[in-house]
Every structure is written in C-alpha cells, then in structure tokens.
Amino acid sequence: MISFIVPTHNYGYMLNKCISSILKNEKKYIREILIINDASQDNTDKIVKNILKNKKIKYYKKNFRNLGKTTNFGISKAKGNLICKIDADDIIKKKFAEDNYLFMKKKNADFVFSNILVNDLLKKKKYLKVQKLKNFFSILSYPHGSGCLFKKRIWKKVGKFNQKNFYQDDFDFWLKIKKLKNIKIEHLDKALYVYNKHNNNMSKNFLIKNLTKFKILIKHLLI
C-alpha cells in the first residue's frame, strides 16, 4: 500500500502530531512510515525514540541539508508501490489514506492530489484551499508539493526530485510529470491535508521562492 515519507529538519516539536495523524488512518492502507531526520539539532531523536515501538515506523538520520535529496532517499527506501510525502510540520485527516487510495484505484490514476485546509498559526485562522486547477494545463498551476499520492514508478521515470533546487523542488517534479505521456492525474475534491502555516515554513521567503520558480520554468521551456 502507501509508504509515507516524512522529511524533518528541526521539527521535533511538531513531529509527534504529524506521525500520530498518519497512524490514525486505517492500518491496512499504511505500508510504512519513513522518517528522515536531515541534520536536525533539536529534540527530534528523543521524540522519535518514543514512537519507534510501532513496527511500521522506520527512522533514518542524514546530514544532507537538502530537501530534494532527503525526499529521494526516503522514497528509495520505500517498499510500497505508492508514495506520499508528508511535511513534518503538517498533519493529515484520518480518512486521508483510504479516500486517496480508493479514489486512485477507481480512476486508475497515477497521481492524485486533494484540497488543503490551511491552518494559519500566525493569524489564528483556518481556511480551505481548493486545488482543482481552473486551467489544468496552465504551466504555473500545480498542487501543493506534499499530500499527493503517486506511484513510485512515476518518481523513477521522471528522474526523481531535483536535488539542486533548495526551493521549489515540488514545482520541478510537477513539470517533469506533466511532460510524461500516458499518465493520468486526478483531483480528489476533499480537504484531507492540513498545512500548518507558521514562521518557520521553508516557503515563506517570497522573493527567493519565486525567483527559483522562474528559473525552473525557463529550464523546462528550453528543454
């Protein structure tokens, strides 16, 4: 079934809620949970030690300091044929695995993404982000990088996540997927992923994020 990949860097204070939310999903859909600690200097080791009793959880410590490389490492270790990356500072709903899996099977899809519930911890409010793309083939329209369910063979076919990009590795991955022929991408119209918005989000640097996005876009247009 599904191999959940959870990269983490100094998110020990949020990791337990993340893992707990995955474990609340129906067991038969969870093949494993792979936590990859990339150069954390907080209490991540201590947090993980308390949850490693669950045989479905595997823990790796690396010093990549690179999200793309960390994600690729996790997926390379995954035994499941379906992959889902969950950010360590986010959580998922208890029907996430079941709804995504059954929807993927029903649609015979290769890649599935759902809506997102944004939990803005700074403004203390929550709101729905509907990810159904208005213009599906618009080059700048793409789903949130985490919380998508995709077949592992797709990851291999596109050459994995780009490890040279510090930002926007998900955008690059999406563009590579869109170039594939005979691939079926489907949108599940349910809010199953909770994105916690806070001061430590990697995506908070608007300027660097969009400059990187522009470079990635130009690269793909020229290839």
Per-residue pLDDT reduced to its tens digit, 150-184:
999 999 999 999 888 766 678 889 888 988 888 99
- Whether CATH 3.90.550.10 fits 2-222: yes
What 8-state DSSP symbol labels residue 134? S
The model's pLDDT over 106-122, given as tens digits with 9 standing for 90+, comes to 999 999 999 999 999 88
**Rounded-to-integer distance, Cα 96 and Cα 21, Å:** 10
How far CA 65 is from CA of 1, 162, 186, in Å, comes to 29, 14, 32
Give yes or no for residue 212 having a pLDDT over 80: no
Please give the share of the chain, as a percent, with pLDDT higher than 70: 84
The model's pLDDT over 34-72, given as tens digits with 9 standing for 90+, comes to 999 999 999 999 999 989 989 999 999 999 999 999 999
How far CA 98 is from CA of 176, 192, 204, in Å, comes to 27, 11, 31
Closest CA to 2 of 75, 83, 90, 72: 83
Least confident stretch, 26-30, 55-59, 89-93, 139-143: 139-143
Question: Model-level pTM?
Answer: 0.90
Give the pair of three-digit tokens for residue 213: 């996005």
Burial of 108 per CB tally in 10 Å (0-12, 13-18, 19+): exposed
